[in-house]
Structure 1
Amino acid sequence: MIGFGPHDLEGVEVPHDDALVIHATIANYNVALVFVDTNSSVNIIFKKAFNQMQIDEADLQPMATSLFGFTGHEVRPLGQINLAISLGEEPLRRTRRTFFTVVDAPSAYNVILGRPTLSAFSAVVSVYHQKIKFPIGRPAADLTGVSPSVAVHRLNMLPGVRPVKQKRRHFGPEQNKIIREEVRKLMEAEHIWEVHFPTWLSNVVLVPKPGNKWRVCVDFRDLNKVCPKRLLSPSSN
């Protein structure tokens, strides 16, 4: 059960009427001035921050509906986009994907986190304590407690190699749709989950299949070059 106690007020000056403003990692960018708004039915990224994140506007999906603020002023969104967002710090860190609406409007904030993200994280918000709390879980949770002496995975990389960050590869709208759908299915099946590698970054690759279909792969060639296969010695028996 998630709760808040006196220890959660450490570093918080009370009484106060401050808004809850946090940092978050969105699409691999560290974003400050993220306003947590439990009254908002959408997540919003303001255009100035969106441009600084260098996300291709071609990835935006059109929106037919307008947004209305508490003043009743109508704002026409530029579109929406599904992005990964991470909250917390390791080991208390969790990542989810959610839709953000991009808006060209003045704001003191870069992002507004609304109920869609809070629900995706099963988050509990306390403005008084200036904190968000959410449960932490990992896929293959039934394997917790396995000692590294029993099983551990490491990449057999050549010593002294420099990490490679591939330049982002752009796809057309139809190909992006195929990639997003495949990623969604793999995440729902818990075969993959969101992680952040600031150095070793590899692009997705679409490989044609018979019947005008596509296979979604990852270009690990740079990583494979520095991970030579280890040859097993022949058995003496």
Structure 2
Amino acid sequence: MEIDNQTVNIGPTLSFGPEDLKGVANNHNDALVIRVMVANYDVARIFVDSGSSVNVLFQEAINQMDLGQYRIEPVVTSLFGFTGHAIRPMGLVHLPLTLGKGNGRKTRIVSFIIVDAPSAYNVILGRPAMTTFMAVASALHQKIKFPVGDQVGEVQGDQVIARKCYVEEFRIEQKVARTDNVDRPGFAGMEKFNLIEDTSVTAEEEIEEIMISPPSGMVKIARTLEAELKQLLLECLQKNKDVFAWSVSDLVGVHREIAEHKLNVIKGCRPIIQKKRHFGPEKYAVIKEQVDELLRAGHIEEIHFPTWLSNIVLVPKSTRK
């Protein structure tokens, strides 16, 4: 991707090459999410969307910023996404936006449409902001480049945050769809996460499991770690694997002064004893296995005629176990 300054006369040539892929995960499809200064606030979770015809600032982000010195102007028109739905903006505000650092730093006044809607992002930077900075974005290279005099300024994307936003945005979409029985209005050019074939998206896509202490010593680490850092981390975990408790039985000998649960109840109140609940054979087998393991480890002990009594509650894990 290259823009020639002789063609549009905006300064130095803005180009992306193999060197810009250093530190970027291979074969990714991540959105470009950056962290920059907005009105002298360090704002994370900024989604760069070259398909959006407006810059969006979400109300939840504004609530964490003191923008008293900036006038919020009324907006009459509505925003329309590619789904055809409309959303009424809360207003329009002009704020200083700073991209880059040091000699590659550039500040411009950018107009933001204020939207009160749930989102994983704080800001959406659309075409107006990119044009104002004469910037070029590359999701592949996870980077924005823009001219600063005769130099080139850069802003690096954060793939870890991008993937967290992806998962969070998908969950928001699902929650709103369940509540309203309709899709949330999409912003101009903003990708719709419910187009994913596998709707059971979880944060597990950000991690990978590594065995460091067979048979049960599994650890989870980020997939986006650089090869050298990943190797150092695994060596450290392997060297110190004895400090981990891989099962309940590994915690034998923990004194009650270190960990002990108590019921904080009002003195003199009537004890609650639940009626015994019946479980199926499969659930009884799971309960027995867990109770026996805790008994062997000495974490619990059998008592007769309890003052308080509640039934066991089985909670399924994400692994469906």
What is the TM-score when the length of structure 1 is the normalising length? 0.56
Q: 2:34 touches 2:45 (CA, 8 Å); kept in 1?
A: yes
User: Aligned residue for 1:207?
Assistant: none
Question: Partners of 1:57 and 1:51 in 2: how far apart?
Answer: 14
Alignment deviations for residues 156-193 of structure 1 (CA, whole Å, 9 cap, x no partner): xxxxxxxxxxxxxxxxxxxxxxxxxxxxxxxxxxxxxx
Q: 2:57 touches 2:113 (CA, 8 Å); kept in 1?
A: yes
- Taking the TM superposition and a 5 Å limit, the aligned residue runs for 1:141-180 are none
SS at match of 1:15: coil
Which stretch of structure 1 is more off in the superposition, 37-46 or 62-71?
A: 62-71
Deviation at 1:24, TM superposition (A): 1.1
User: Aligned residue for 1:55?
Assistant: 67
Q: 2:55 touches 2:112 (CA, 8 Å); kept in 1?
A: yes
Higher helix share: 2
User: Aligned residue for 1:26?
Assistant: 38
User: Aligned residue for 1:219?
Assistant: none
Q: Please provide the CA RMSD for this pair.
A: 1.5
Higher strand share: 1
SS at match of 1:135: strand
Alignment deviations for residues 184-206 of structure 1 (CA, whole Å, 9 cap, x no partner): xxxxxxxxxxxxxxxxxxxxxxx
**Is the aligned partner of 1:115 residue 2:127?**
yes
2:109 to 91, 97, 117: 97
Gaps of 5+ in 1: 139-237
Deviation at 1:58, TM superposition (A): 7.7
Question: Partners of 1:133 and 1:58 in 2: how far apart?
Answer: 28
Alignment deviations for residues 190-229 of structure 1 (CA, whole Å, 9 cap, x no partner): xxxxxxxxxxxxxxxxxxxxxxxxxxxxxxxxxxxxxxxx
Question: Partners of 1:59 and 1:130 in 2: how far apart?
Answer: 33
Question: Partners of 2:78 and 2:39 in 1: how far apart?
Answer: 25
| Structure with larger Rg | 2
Query: Sequence identity of aligned pairs in percent?
Result: 55
Q: Which amino acid aligns with 1:30?
A: D
SS at match of 1:52: coil
Deviation at 1:57, TM superposition (A): 9.2
Deviation at 1:137, TM superposition (A): 2.2
Q: Which amino acid aligns with 1:83?
A: L
Higher relative contact order (CA 8 A, sep 6+): 1
User: Aligned residue for 2:77?
Assistant: 65
Gaps of 5+ in 2: 1-12, 151-321
